[in-house]
Amino acid sequence: MRVLDRLVRLAVVCSLGFMLAGCSTTRAVSVVTDDGTGAWPVGQHDHCIYKSNRLICTPQGTRIVIPEEMKGKIKPGEKVKIEEVLFLNSVRFMGQVEESLQSGRPKMQVSVLDSKFSEKPEDYSVWNCISTGQGSPAVDCKVMKQPNSEDKEYIAQQLKKQQEVKDATLKLTSLTHKSLEERCGQPVQRGEDSISVTELYKGQSELLAFHFSTYPPPEDKLTVASSLDAPPAKLDHNAVLSGKHHWWGGRAESESTWYLQQLGCLGK
């Protein structure tokens, strides 16, 4: 009887429009799908992540990478919950999708659709959604995971880390060989030809090589960087490619922060 009373009270509260966790809700959201065709067939179930009135969806069965922080906790033969994997990847996944949308990546479809949620969606929550083929709701979603307080702390840490990577990448992409010399002094070794300049600096634990494209003038742009174990006989593009910890110009990747840690003057 108590369970029935609670369900009745919840139904009354939901009917009055209160946004409680147990109440389903339908709202118009921006839905992003990416299955290689830009389409979401009727009846297809997708795994979706919600953030700021946007659903980022991918077909169920899509290969998903298990994050490093989860690998060490998985026991041999243990079944991994897909919603936990999706959640741990959510910040990185959202960041990649937003970058793809800004760059106009093809086969990625964005639609504003009436979407029904089994309960009020929190940012970075994970959902099992189906395309209904109807007008409202066009998408019907059942909750798989809502972030708790510990999860929200994890999200905050990941967002901070993501911003640090973006900031570090911006510093490197805007670097020229002249600004590098102004910040860090003269290089240990220098190579130059008609189209490029390559410079070698001593980092905290490794030698760092930076290759700049200088053609056509006045271009002066960092295109690739790497770490070397020892000064090469000839410092040029091939020498940089033979190194480790490669950084490729124009991509926001975790190696960016590694370079700023190795050579603190880059952050000036």
pLDDT tens for residues 60-98?
777 777 877 787 777 787 888 899 999 999 998 898 888
Give 248's pLDDT tier (boundaries 50, 70, 90).
confident
Mean pLDDT of the chain: 86
What pLDDT sits at residue 80?
84
At residue 265, does pLDDT exceed 60?
Answer: yes
Of 267 and 259, the one with more pLDDT: 259
What pLDDT sits at residue 12?
36
Domain boundaries, the chain: 19-147, 167-267
- Please tell me whether the overall predicted TM-score, pTM, comes out greater than 0.95 for this model: no
Of 79 and 258, the one with more pLDDT: 258
Q: What would the DSSP string read from start to end of the chain?
A: -HHHHHHHHHHHHHHTT---TTS-EEEEEEEEE-SSSS---TT-EEEEEEETTEEEEEETT---PPPHHHHTTPPTTPPPPHHHHHHHHHHHHHHHHHHHHHTT-TT-EEEEEEEEESSPPPTTEEEEEEE-SSSTTSEEEEEEE---HHHHHHHHHHHHHHHHHHHHHHHHHT--HHHHHHHH-S-SEEEE-SSEEEEEEE-SSSEEEEEEE--STT--EEEEEEEESS--SS-SHHHHHTSEEEEETT---THHHHHHHH-GGGG-
What pLDDT sits at residue 231?
97
Give 178's pLDDT tier (boundaries 50, 70, 90).
very high
What pLDDT sits at residue 35?
55
At residue 16, does pLDDT exceed 70?
Answer: no
Kindly report, residue by residue over 151-167, the tens digit of the pLDDT. Answer: 999 999 999 998 998 89
What pLDDT sits at residue 177?
96
